[in-house]
Amino acid sequence: MQTLFSVNSFKLVLLALIALLALVIWRYSSVALTGEPDKPRFMRSLAFTLSAVVFTLISNHLLLFWLGWLAISLALHQLLLFYPERPRAQLAAQKKALSARLSEVLLAIAFTLLYLHFGTANISTINTMLASAPSSLILHSAAILMVLVALLKCAQLPLHGWLIQVVEAPTPVSALLHAGIINLGGILLLLFLPLLRCSPIASFILLVTALGSTIVAALVVSTRISIKVRLAWSTVAQMGLMLVEIALGLYTLALLHLLAHSCYKAYAFLHSGNAVNHYLAAQLAEQAHPRARHWLVSLLLAVALVSLTQQVLPLSSLSSAVLLILAITVLLVPTLQLADNRRPARVLLALVYAIGLLILYFSSKTLLQPVMPTPHSVTLAADMLSSVAFVGLFMLTLLLRYQSHRKSINKVFIWLNAGGYLDEWTTRITLKIWPYTAHTKACHKVPALQEAK
């Protein structure tokens, strides 16, 4: 008898992540919302959301998986509207609801196609049959639909606006969304990897769309000041990068990225209250821009470190090597700048830190390899395209940071600071489909919103 629920090593890792996030966010919420009249309602919605995520993850039946997927969106909607009198919170919730309904319809169609093609709704059986199934129009269609669902769930451009605006919700909601629920698009593709492998067309759509979203969102991050808004745009970029890794076939790296990003974003949002202190400390510190030689030496050291490491533990693609080199370069630059101020010991310390990060990276990948293996080599054209895109993103970020006073760069800076004006049309469409109506809490006799009107 086919089981309705199943757990494997991949799901166990995700369940452990969910348990950790649930513990931290629940404890933070219970303290942060002390004295809030609607705290019980918030905690009930939070518990229901976490339960829906676990239910969806362990489901081994297409219908149960889809029902869990729907339940997550409905529960999250209640959390987003915890302060219903806030206009931006209502707008974000409405955008999220429309995007969620579209993703649910597309997912239902994809699941229906799989059921009609294989004659079973058991997910494990479908994945087993997909491993040896020849490509067909139905499988291509189902794979493309799942890619679209993943792009919608991960808030990729241009349907990203709701994720930027949900910062109106309480901080624990932002942590839950950015550290957990936003990953569901990538989790969906990792659960149905045999289907994605059957369709190079779907993988190409995923690669191009996610890569474009990653570049634009990462550039926007460099122009924003608000801590939470920067974190939200960073999530769009990070989710895009995770989807690029899946499209390239770097499944182990994608899982590692998912785990690391979840832990970082939960900490970043729950710790965002201390951002003012960090900002003041940075203002009191020495402000000096690194010179070209600092960047060049850092780049050469990063290339040397990654090249030496690759002799022992080969990297699976050129694009992953490029990402590592650029990350270590950024890490070493401030230290080399301090070395000019008679602090040469800092360079050795930074090198030790960089080596430690490389060891942690490769050891984590080795541990996750049996959980989510990377079975085949990366397509050369896709790998080269991604590598060029990452280098271009790095160079554009430096120009925006250090050359924004130039007229041409300043125009790009202004366009990016406005988010490329990509969200305006989705806002207009949302308000046409679902016009804004002011909501008030019963405990407020004269809401400020209605007074303004």
Q: Output the 3-class SS for 72-101.
A: HHHHHHHHHCCCCCCHHHHHHHHHHHHHHH
183 by Cβ neighbours in 10 Å (0-12 / 13-18 / 19+) ranks as: buried
To which residue do tokens 């405990």 refer? Answer: 443
Rounded mean pLDDT, 404-430:
84
Q: Note the pLDDT of residue 438.
A: 59
pLDDT at 233 over 50: yes
- How far from the centroid of its chain's Cα atoms is residue 60's Cα? 25
Burial class (CB in 10 A: 0-12, 13-18, 19+), 246: buried
What is the average pLDDT score of the chain?
86
| pLDDT value, residue 112 | 97
Alpha-carbon dihedral sign for residues 352, 354, 355, 357: positive
Provide mean pLDDT across the span 82-110: 89
pLDDT digits (tens, 9 = 90+) for 151-162: 999 999 888 888
More confident residue, 55 or 378: 55
> Best-predicted range by mean pLDDT among 83-87, 281-285, 355-359, 428-432?
355-359
Report d(CA 422, CA 157) in Å as an integer: 8
pLDDT > 70 fraction of the chain, expressed in percent and rounded: 90
Q: How far is CA 84 from CA 78, 94, 388, in A?
A: 9, 11, 45
Average pLDDT over residues 389-413: 89
Q: Is the pLDDT of residue 368 over 70?
A: yes
Lowest mean pLDDT among 293-297, 380-384, 396-400: 293-297
pLDDT beyond 90 at 379: no
In angstroms, rounded to a whole number, what is the distance separating the alpha carbons of residues 80 and 412? 32
Judge whether 96 and 75 are in contact, CB under 8 Å: no
ω into residue 170 within 30 of 0, thus cis?
A: no
In this predicted structure, the answer to whether residue 436 has a pLDDT above a threshold of 80 is: no
Give the per-residue pLDDT at 2: 65
User: What is the pLDDT, as a whole number, of residue 451?
Assistant: 36
Distance CA 190, CA 193 (A): 5
- The confidence score (pLDDT) of residue 227 equals 79
Q: What is the mean pLDDT of residues 231-259?
A: 94
The two tokens of residue 20 are 């950790």
Cα(203)–Cα(383) distance, integer angstroms = 13
- What HEC string does the chain produce? CCCCECCCHHHHHHHHHHHHHHHHHHHHHHHHCCCCCCHHHHHHHHHHHHHHHHHHHHECEHHHHHHHHHHHHHHHHHHHCCCCCCHHHHHHHHHHHHHHHHHHHHHHHHHHHHHHHHCCCEHHHHHHHHCCCCCCHHHHHHHHHHHHHHHHHCCCCCCCHHHHHHHHCCHHHHHHHHHCHHHHHHHHHHHCHHHHHCCHHHHHHHHHHHHHHHHHHHHHHCCCCCHHHHHHHHHHHHHHHHHHHHHHCCHHHHHHHHHHHHHHHHHHHHCHHHHHHHHHHHHHCCCCCCCHHHHHHHHHHHHHHHHHHHHHCCCCCHHHHHHHHHHHHHHHHHHHHHHCCCCCHHHHHHHHHHHHHHHHHHHHHHHHCCCCCCCCCCCHHHHHHHHHHHHHHHHHHHHHHHCCCCHHHHHHHHHHHCHHHCCHHHHHHHHHHCCCCCCCCCCCCCCHHHHHC
For residues 158-181, average pLDDT: 86
pLDDT (mean) for 315-343: 81
Give the amino acid at 121. Answer: A
Q: Does the structure show a pLDDT above 80 at 350?
A: no
Sign of CA dihedral 137, 141, 147, 150: negative
Cα 128 from Cα 119, distance rounded (Å) = 13
pLDDT of residue 444: 42
CB 393 within 8 A of CB 218: yes
Query: pLDDT at position 171, please?
Result: 87
